[in-house]
C-alpha cells in the first residue's frame, strides 16, 4: 500500500475526527520513521510524547514479544503478575503509594477526578468541586473535557459536567481566591502541552501545594505529556520540589502501547474500595510488560541527563532564532520545547514534513518540539537545519 492508498482507505471508512497530515507510517527506529512510499523522516514529535524511548525500543519490543506469547489477558477478576510489578515500580520511583491502571490519559484523569470526589464525599461537608485551569488539556471524556480549559473542544458538547470550574493558569492568587468550601481538588498540568508549551511561574506548583495544605484540598498533577523523562526529570513536578496527592500518567508510559496510570498517596487512594471503579482492560499484561520495560529505561539517570543536555543544546539553537523568522519566544523544559511564532505555524509544519522532519504546531502559533528522548545531538542538529530552512522560506 502507498501513502495515497492508505489515505484513501481511511478517508472512505474512518470517522473523520482527525485533521491528519498526508502521510502513512509503516516503520520506525529510534528517532527515525519511514512512510509507505519509503521516505525517511526525522522525528521531532515522538507520536505526541508517546515514543519517548524512540520507535521500537529493543527492551520494549522484547517485553511485548515475551508477554504476548505468555498471557494476553485474564481480567481484573484475577491477579496477573505484570500489573503488580508495574505499580510497584511506579511507587518506587515517585511519591505514590497506590496506583490504578487505566488504558489512556483521559481514563487516568477520569479516575483522578472520581477519586477526588469520592475522597471529598467521605470527608463530609459535601465537597465536590474540582478547579482546573484555562488553556489546559486533560482529555476527551466528558469529565476530562469539562476540565479542559479550551472552548474549541467544548463546542457542540454542552452541557458539560457540573462541579468543575476553570481558573487562569499560572495565577496563584486567582487559584487562592477560587478555592471555596465545596472545593475538593486543584487539577493542573505542571507544563501545559496542548495549550502551547506554557511553563508557569517558578513558584506556582509550590504555591498550589501550600494552598492545598492550607485549605485541605487535593493537588492533582496531570503529567501525561510532561512526565516520564520529558523535562529531564522522571516527573516534571520534581523540578518544583513538591509532590501532588494524585498524579496521572499515560502517553510515554507504555513505550508505545496504550496504558494510563493514576498514582496516589495511601491516604487518598483509600477512598477507592472494591467495586467503586474499574476497567476491563486496565492493567492488561502486555501493556504492563511494555510499561515495565519503558519505565525502567526512562528512569535511567544517564537518559535523564541526556535529555537535559540535548534539550539545552536544542533550546540554545532555537533561542538564537528569536527575533528572526517571526519567532517571538522559546519556552519549555528539557525536550518539551515550544517556539512561539508571530503567524500560524501550519505552513512551517508542512514545509518541514516535505523536507523530512516531523514537527507539530499547537495553539495555532506554537511550534512544538517533542523529539524522542534518545535523539542524538547530531540528529537534533539535522532536524534544526531543516527547521531553519523552513522558517527562512517564510511560506
Ligand X SMILES: *Cc1c(COP(=O)(O)O)cnc(C)c1O
CA distance 345 to 362: 8
Using CB under 6 A as the criterion, what x/- string covers residues 127-146 for binding ligand X? Answer: ----------xxx-------
Which of 35, 43, 222, 245 is catalytic? The answer is 222
Place of cell 524512540: 54
As measured in angstroms, the least distance from the Cβ of 317 to ligand X is 25
Which of 35, 100, 235, 251 is catalytic? The answer is 251
CA distance 42 to 141: 32
- 260 versus 351: smaller Cβ distance to ligand X: 260
CA distance 179 to 166: 11
Burial degree of 291 (CB within 10 A; 0-12, 13-18, 19+): buried
Pairing mode of beta strands 327-333, 32-35: unpaired
Q: What share of the chain is helix, strand, coil (3-state, %, to 5)?
A: 40, 20, 40
As measured in angstroms, the least distance from the Cβ of 155 to ligand X is 18
User: Nearest residue to ligand X, using CB?
Assistant: 105
Q: Taking CB under 6 A as the rule, does residue 98 contact ligand X? A: no
222 has catalytic annotation: yes
Q: Taking CB under 6 A as the rule, does residue 189 contact ligand X? A: yes
Q: What are the C-alpha distances in Å from 361 to residues 181, 259, 260, 314, 352?
A: 39, 25, 24, 17, 11
Angle at 370 between CA 319 and CA 64, to 5 degrees: 155
Edge-to-edge order in the sheet of strand 32-35: 25-29, 32-35, 40-43, 357-358
Q: Taking CB under 6 A as the rule, does residue 193 contact ligand X? A: yes
Instruction: Find the part of the chain contacting ligand X (CB under 6 A) among 164-172, 217-225, 317-325, 333-341.
Output: 217-225
Instruction: Find the part of the chain contacting ligand X (CB under 6 A) among 100-108, 231-239, 334-342, 362-370.
Output: 100-108
Instruction: Find the part of the chain contacting ligand X (CB under 6 A) among 222-230, 273-281, 354-362, 365-373.
Output: 222-230
44 has catalytic annotation: no
**105 to 124, contacts with ligand X by CB under 6 A?**
105-106, 109
**CB neighbour burial string for 226-244, b if at least 16 within 10 angstroms, e if fewer:** bbbbbbbbbbbbbbbebbb
Q: How many residues bind ligand X (CB under 6 A)?
A: 15
- 87 versus 191: smaller Cβ distance to ligand X: 191
Edge-to-edge order in the sheet of strand 336-341: 327-333, 336-341, 366-369, 360-362
List beta partners, residue 165: 131
Residues in the chain: 395
As measured in angstroms, the least distance from the Cβ of 362 to ligand X is 10
At 176, list the grid cell. 487562592
- 228 versus 310: smaller Cβ distance to ligand X: 228
251 has catalytic annotation: yes
Instruction: Find the part of the chain contacting ligand X (CB under 6 A) among 99-107, 172-180, 261-269, 332-340.
Output: 99-107
Q: Where are the beta strands (DSSP E) in 178-237?
A: 183-188, 218-222
- 64 versus 113: smaller Cβ distance to ligand X: 113
Q: What are the C-alpha distances in Å from 363 to residues 30, 193, 204, 208, 343?
A: 27, 9, 22, 25, 11
As measured in angstroms, the least distance from the Cβ of 198 to ligand X is 11
- 223 versus 245: smaller Cβ distance to ligand X: 223
**242 to 261, contacts with ligand X by CB under 6 A?**
250-251
As measured in angstroms, the least distance from the Cβ of 69 to ligand X is 27
Using CB under 6 A as the criterion, what x/- string covers residues 224-243 for binding ligand X? Answer: xx------------------
As measured in angstroms, the least distance from the Cβ of 381 to ligand X is 27
Residues assigned a catalytic role = 137, 222, 251
Q: Which residues would be at the binding site for ligand X (CB under 6 A)?
A: 104-106, 109, 137-139, 189, 193-194, 222, 224-225, 250-251
Amino acid at each position: 500500500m502507498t501513502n495515497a492508498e492508505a489515505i484513501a482507505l481511511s478517508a472512505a471508512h474512518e470517522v473523520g475526527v482527525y485533521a491528519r497530515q498526508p502521510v502513512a507510517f509503516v516503520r520506525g527506529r529510534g528517532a527515525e520513521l519511514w512512510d509507505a512510499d519509503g521516505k525517511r523522516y526525522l522525528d521531532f514529535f515522538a507520536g505526541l510524547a508517546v515514543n519517548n524511548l524512540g520507535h521500537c525500543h529493543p527492551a520494549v519490543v522484547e517485553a511485548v514479544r515475551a508477554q504476548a506469547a505468555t498471557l494476553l489477558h485474564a481480567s481484573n477478576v484475577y491477579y496477573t503478575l505484570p500489573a503488580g510489578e508495574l505499580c510497584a515500580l511506579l511507587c518506587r520511583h515517585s511519591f505514590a503509594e497506590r496506583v490504578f491502571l487505566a488504558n489512556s490519559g483521559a481514563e487516568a484523569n477520569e479516575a483522578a477526578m472520581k477519586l477526588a470526589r469520592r475522597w471529598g464525599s467521605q470527608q463530609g461537608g459535601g465537597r465536590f468541586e474540582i478547579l482546573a485551569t484555562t488553556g489546559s488539556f486533560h482529555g476527551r471524556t466528558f469529565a476530562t473535557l469539562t476540565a479542559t480549559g479550551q472552548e474549541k473542544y467544548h463546542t457542540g458538547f454542552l452541557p458539560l459536567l457540573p462541579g468543575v470550574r476553570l481558573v487562569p493558569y499560572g495565577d496563584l492568587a486567582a487559584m487562592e481566591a477560587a478555592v471555596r468550601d465545596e472545593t475538593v481538588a486543584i487539577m493542573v498540568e505542571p507544563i501545559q502541552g496542548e495549550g502551547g508549551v506554557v511553563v508557569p511561574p517558578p513558584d506556582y506548583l509550590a504555591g498550589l501545594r501550600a494552598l492545598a495544605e492550607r485549605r485541605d484540598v487535593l493537588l492533582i498533577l496531570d503529567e501525561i505529556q510532561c512526565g516520564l523523562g520529558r523535562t529531564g526529570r522522571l516527573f516534571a513536578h520534581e523540578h518544583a520540589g513538591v509532590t501532588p496527592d494524585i498524579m496521572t500518567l499515560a502517553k510515554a508510559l507504555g513505550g508505545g502501547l496504550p496504558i494510563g496510570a493514576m498514582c496516589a498517596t495511601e491516604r487518598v487512594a483509600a477512598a477507592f474500595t472494591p467495586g467503586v471503579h474499574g476497567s476491563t482492560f486496565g492493567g492488561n499484561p502486555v501493556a504492563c510488560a511494555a510499561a515495565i520495560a519503558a519505565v525502567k529505561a526512562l528512569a535511567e539517570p544517564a537518559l535523564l541527563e541526556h535529555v537535559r543536555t540535548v534539550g539545552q543544546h536544542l533550546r540554545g539553537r532555537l533561542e538564537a532564532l528569536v527575533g528572526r523568522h517571526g519567532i517571538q519566544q522559546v519556552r519549555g523544559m528539557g525536550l518539551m520545547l515550544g517556539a512561539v511564532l508571530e503567524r500560524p505555524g501550519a505552513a512551517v509544519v508542512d514545509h518541514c514534513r516535505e523536507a523530512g522532519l516531523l514537527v507539530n504546531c499547537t495553539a495555532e502559533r506554537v511550534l512544538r518540539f517533542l523529539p524522542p528522548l534518545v535523539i542524538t545531538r547530531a540528529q537534533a542538529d539535522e532536524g534544526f537545519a531543516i527547521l531553519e530552512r523552513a522558517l527562512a522560506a517564510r511560506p
